[in-house]
Structure 1
Amino acid sequence: MTELLHLTERPLWDAARGTGTYEMSTRGRTLHEEGFIHCSLPHQLPAVAELLYGAGGRAEAGDRDLVVLVIDTERLPAPVRYESLRPGGEEFPHIYGPIPVEAVVGVLPWPDKEGDLA
């Protein structure tokens, strides 16, 4: 089983649990707008949190109820592609379709007690 991580706001995850699928790509952008859902590997999550929320993901994160979705790729009907923003750059996992709530095998607070999940 491969696990991917996705940082989101708890109310967005709660809404997805009501509809059966999660369809936010990244902060403020939907799957429909972006074309895929941005994800991270554990070692990539702190940098993603920094990019989206600043101060190590902790400054604004302290003002928001953030969670990390742990996604089991074997439960995804949509393809996962590892892609880079630029040639030779670090590749990040992207899910090309909605995430069924059944594919989310864990929901962790962010920041966690140790400060990251890496």
Structure 2
Amino acid sequence: MTRVYKLLGHTEWEAALAKGVFEGSAVDLADGFIHFSTAAQAQETGRRYFAGQTDLLIVGFDADALGEALKWEASRGGDLFPHLYAPLPTHLAVEARPVALDADGVPILGGLPA
């Protein structure tokens, strides 16, 4: 099982859980897909886009369970990133954990299962 990860605010995830589906954060909605990262990509994603943000969660999903709506597309540095072109059913989450920040406010995301 390959895992893909979504970084988002605790409040966003709680709202999605109440609805049973996550339709995307503001940047996801603007881009037309839900952004994910692999375990290897998560730290840099956190550093670039989530530094200084408190109350973060990282939510893991089995990539295969997301089906054909999950596309692997070239992005940062030519790396392939997982993008979901569909609403995300919250029941597919295999884990959700709070994210700590280091002294510089960068999310600490090492040690995620691949």
Structure 2 contact 56–98 (Cα < 8 Å) conserved: yes
Match for residue 16 of structure 1? 16
Match for residue 48 of structure 1? 45
2:80, 2:64 → 1: CA distance?
20
State the TM-score, normalizing by the size of structure 1.
0.78
Amino acid corresponding to residue 36 of structure 1 in structure 2: F
Amino acid corresponding to residue 59 of structure 2 in structure 1: L
CA RMSD in angstroms comes to: 2.2
Runs of 4+ more than 6 Å apart = none
Structure 1 residues not aligned, in runs of 5+: 55-59
Structure 2 residues not aligned, in runs of 5+: 103-107
Change (3 A) 1:35 1:65: same
Amino acid corresponding to residue 7 of structure 1 in structure 2: L
State the TM-score, normalizing by the size of structure 2.
0.80
Note if 1:76 corresponds to 2:66.
yes
What percentage of aligned pairs have identical amino acids? Answer: 30
